[in-house]
Structure 1
Amino acid sequence: MASNSATNNALRLVVVGSGGVGKSALTLQWVQQYFVTDYDPTIEDSYTKQCFLDDGMCKIEVLDTAGQDEFKTMREQYLRTGDGFLLVFSITSRETLDYVVKLHRHIDRLRDRDNFPMILIGNKCDLNDERQISMEEASTVARELNVPYLECSAKFRKNVDQAFHDLARLVRKFRENDRQLHNGDQSDGIHQNKKKKKNCRIQ
């Protein structure tokens, strides 16, 4: 079933990860240039933003999902319909990295597509003194998952724009590859139909 983004031509980016890693902080920094200081567990928030990306304007819908297990059923819907995913963990918590690795595998199974648009995000890089995961280790994990890796700080807005823009570019590229594949399949079908008609005339 096609996602809503297919009908309104928006790119639907989904921010996922365990609770407290800064998903809402990243989202609000990008959408509203505002840093959230008080942690309030999110059920679900959706934002739409028009931004200039590469060669023109781009409409992006961002879904900020809940990290708590009690919202797992709700989150499953967005894993099935999102166009691309920011897999967010905190560099200060190894458990949160383990969680998004499992999420990546789960999304892979749900979507059953090669190179589905995802980026691994190590948030809270401003808390370097509390770091549990080195950049080298996280980069190795990203290579194993075959996704890009980026470290961000929602507090200081470091790489926040880049995270969302890079994911939007991956989604665009993925869609274009899909269109080319679809058009190629149609061309093959037309060619085969012409060949059948030609064979009929010869007979």
Structure 2
Amino acid sequence: MSIQKSLYKVAMVGSGDVGKSALTLQFMYNEYEEEYEPTKADIYRKTIQLDGEEVQIDILDTASQEVCAVIRDSYYRRSDGFLCVFSVTNEKSFQATHEIRELVLLLKNDDRVPFLLVGNKSDSKEERKVPLSECQATAQKWGVTYVETSAKLYQNVDRIFLDVMRQIRSKRAVHSNEPNGRRKAMKKGWHKCAVL
């Protein structure tokens, strides 16, 4: 009988043309393409080693263009963690992360959702528009990790996926250690209530 592997569902979110697909394809296949079609929304699955444990990761590479809000919201709700990607060469894509963060928190109804802020295209130093200090300050304000990546140079690609998976695992461990007594106490309290 095969043992069920832990499954981690990670959503790549962010504006168009920031490198979400490039990061995903590098992680999945060690492939980098300079030019590719805009993503409609793809799901990839891979079995990997996470700190000595064999696990599976599902990566939802969200659409660059505006997708139906109902579909997008459904994807967000089903995801365990988020890699919020912007390009350090594009100020607008950085500003968009604020709105995305708000939407994730709203849909997950949880301000401790596993979430990394990812500044991609760090290899394009001459074209940089978003200062490192601003990126770090935003991450600190949100209480999340900030990581700079380069899909082109395979810089920190594995790290972002493994980091968000570790956050998901930690959150699951906290939930599994919560005493069931709380739920039982609520039930007991309900039985004691008298309808007047």
Residue 175 (str. 1) matches residue 161 (str. 2):
no
From 184, 190, 196, the equivalent of 1:189 is 184
TM-score, normalised on structure 1?
Answer: 0.85
Residue 144 (str. 1) matches residue 141 (str. 2):
yes
RMSD after superposition = 2.0
Note if contact 1:45-1:63 (Cα within 8 Å) is conserved in structure 2.
Answer: yes
**Which stretches in structure 2 are left out of the alignment for 5+ residues?**
189-196
| Deviation of the 1:74 alpha carbon | 2.4
- Map 1:66-81 → 2, pairs under 5 A: 66-81=63-78
Letter in 1 for 2:116: I
Return the index of the structure with the highest Cα Rg: 1
Secondary structure of 1:57's match? strand
Structure-2 residue corresponding to 1:52: 49
Structure-2 residue corresponding to 1:118: 115
CA distance in 2, matches of 1:70, 1:116: 23
| Deviation of the 1:188 alpha carbon | 7.1
Structure-2 residue corresponding to 1:198: none
CA distance in 1, matches of 2:21, 2:96: 17
Secondary structure of 1:69's match? coil
CA distance in 2, matches of 1:109, 1:130: 34
Letter in 1 for 2:93: T
Note if contact 1:17-1:100 (Cα within 8 Å) is conserved in structure 2.
Answer: yes
Letter in 1 for 2:125: N
Query: 1:114–1:185: structure 2 CA closer, same or farther, 3 Å change rule?
Result: farther
Note if contact 1:119-1:167 (Cα within 8 Å) is conserved in structure 2.
Answer: yes
Note if contact 1:20-1:39 (Cα within 8 Å) is conserved in structure 2.
Answer: no
Letter in 1 for 2:152: K
Larger helix fraction of residues: 1
Residue 97 (str. 1) matches residue 122 (str. 2):
no
CA distance in 2, matches of 1:187, 1:133: 46
Runs (4 or more) in structure 1 with deviation over 6 Å come to none
